[in-house]
Structure 1
Amino acid sequence: MDEITHYALEFWQEYQGYIISLLKGIALLACGIYLAFFSRTRIRKVISKKDEILGNFLSQVLFVCIIILSAITALGTMGVQTTSIIAVLGTAGLAIALALKDSLSSLASGIVLIVLRPFKKGDLLELGSVAGRVEAINLFHTTLRLPDNKLAIFPNESVTKGVITNCTDAERRRIEWIVGVGYKSDIEEVKSILNAVIEKIDEISKDPAPFVGVTELSSSSIDFSIRVWIENNINIFAVRSQLIEECKKALDNAGVEIPYNQLDVRVSNK
């Protein structure tokens, strides 16, 4: 027992400074981690009262910064030469930045979205062919809740580079659809059939007035464009689906041909 005590005292005397530095470093790191979590929670709670998306974004950025600074400070306390580590991290960071340039571009785009604020949580957006309500803007991506309750995740870079249509403040949204009929069809008869279908769908607004007309003579059909408006709170996909189904039924009942894409080849014998 005396020998163990003797060796323990020698070990303590020889490595006392290292042990104290190690404990200080661990304590600083633990405090930094606690501060990071505490700050993230408090900032998110305070700022989210006015703007939830901004609160989430700033809390994530601050969390990452505090963790990095805490780790560097703890290493410095333990006697590690942080200058060399910072230099190595800088070199490694450059290499990582080149390898992850798309992700960093999404991060920069996220900052742009937060600063310029083209939309906020709950806004109804159209991003290309996808429409939904904004759930969150994170460091690298934006999430939309679709009408079928699916969650669509867009890289922030694609959001800023694409066309953003904010439909939140619009009283009505437009449905546009093109239907082609055969060249032997009577134009006025087709317009009458399509207008009759529109009149039967209650969700379609009468102001602005619906539009039905020929917009193109394509290679195998006469193309009619249908443009109607519905209230913003109505499910646009359900109304569009009903419109297409009813138009198809009405044209079939009237004997109006909806042709396939086709190419006529005529060979003449001389």
Structure 2
Amino acid sequence: MDKNLDYWIDQAIVFGTTYGLKVIAAIAIWIVGSWVIKKIARGATKIMENRDYELSLQKFLINLINALLKILLVITLLGTLGVPTTQFAAIIAAAGLAIGLALQGSLGNFAGGILLMIFKPIKIGDFIEAQGQSGTVKEIQIFTTKLNTTDNKEVIIPNGALSNGNIVNYSVEDTRRVDFTFGVGYDSDIKKTKEVLFGVINSHPLVLKDPATAVNVSELADSSINFFTRAWVKKEDYWTVKFDVIEQTKEALDAAGIDIPYPHQVEIHKEG
């Protein structure tokens, strides 16, 4: 028994001598590393809050930072304990490559979502046109963006395509230009027609005085003289002015006796 006891005592001394310091070092690295990770996460959160990042993006990035730093911490601990980490790191890299290839489209949408949230070419409430769709931005998620169309349909656009394509944002500027094209007959007086068009547009209470309204002859078409008209309005008044001016212009041209040409059908009657 004494010999067995001496043997186990010797083994414990050898183990403690060999691994004791490594275990203590690993514990110390874990404590310090965990504290550093928390500090980094808090600092990153403050930076994103100051830059007004979307809340969903903040949470995702913080979770991602925590996961990556903890993986790095575990690899460091294994190395401290003498565990070969080269193969372990290679396995992680291979798994990451396989996952990346399998989720290539999703990763593209994820990257696009991050770009949209960081650079903010659009925000919730903006009326945009993108990827052949137009509508009000309802929600910007990590992988997709939701639009609400004018006829109350929900359109979901992948963020990868959205971030890499053209985006027309109608809500960025405070004012918009309303363009009209009106055609009148060749017998119409150009000066009088301009006076009628100016009168209709400038009398509308929602049309801005600056920039000034413009009315110009834009084309001598096959059956009409076309006038190109431009007026500036506040962005929220765009459709109201557009519809009002079209209706009021028709009434004003009729009242002034100015003809608006349209195709006529001529019936030919044969005798006998």
TM-score range, shorter chain: 0.5 to 0.7
Match of 1:199 in 2: 202
Instruction: For structure 1, list consecutive stretches of 5 or more residues without a partner in the other structure.
Output: 1-38, 74-80, 263-270
Counterpart-to-counterpart distance in 2, 1:48 and 1:82: 30
Distance 1:60 1:183, change over 3 A: farther
SS of the aligned residue for 2:209 comes to coil
Counterpart selection for 1:224 from 224, 227, 238: 227
The aligned amino acid for 1:242 is D
| Pair 1:118–1:212, CA change in 2 (3 A) | farther
Compare CA radii of gyration and give the structure with the larger one.
Answer: 2
1:54 aligned onto 2:54: yes
Tell me what 1:94 maps to.
101
**Structural RMSD (CA):** 4.2
Question: Is the 8 Å Cα contact of residues 128 and 170 (structure 2) preserved in structure 1?
Answer: yes
**For each residue in 1:213-268, what CA deviation from the matched residue of structure 2 results, as whole angstroms up to 9, or x when unmatched?**
11223344322111111234x432122111222122323443421435x9xxxxxx
SS at match of 1:183: coil
Q: Which amino acid aligns with 1:211?
A: A
Count matched residues. 201
Q: Residue type matched to 1:57 in 2?
A: L
Aligned partners of 1:53 and 1:121 also within 8 Å: no
Cα gap change, 1:66/1:48 in structure 2, threshold over 3 Å: closer, same or farther? closer
Change in 2 beyond 3 A, CA 1:66/1:208: same
Tell me how far 1:55 sits from its aligned partner. Answer: 2.8
Return the TM-score normalized by structure 2.
0.55
Alignment-derived partner of residue 251 in structure 2 = 249
Cα distance 1:200–1:58, how it changes in 2: closer, same or farther (>3 A)? Answer: same
Deviation, structure 1 residue 138: 2.5
Residue of 211, 218, 225 corresponding to 1:208: 211
SS at match of 2:226: strand
Q: Does the 8 A contact of 2:206 with 2:241 survive in 1? A: yes
Percent identity over paired residues:
29
More displaced 10-residue stretch of structure 1: 143-152 or 190-199? 143-152
CA contact (8 A) 1:53 1:137 kept: no
Distance change >3 Å, CA 84–CA 124, structure 1 → 2: closer
Name the stretch that deviates more: 240-249 or 88-97: 88-97
- Amino acid corresponding to residue 94 of structure 2 in structure 1: A
Q: 1:53 to 1:249 in 2, by over 3 A?
A: farther
**Hey, what does 1:138 align to over in structure 2?**
141
Q: Do the aligned partners of 1:221 and 1:259 also contact (CA within 8 Å) in 2? A: no
TM-score (norm 1): 0.55
For residues 67 and 153 of structure 2, the distance between their equivalents in structure 1, rounded to whole angstroms, comes to 33
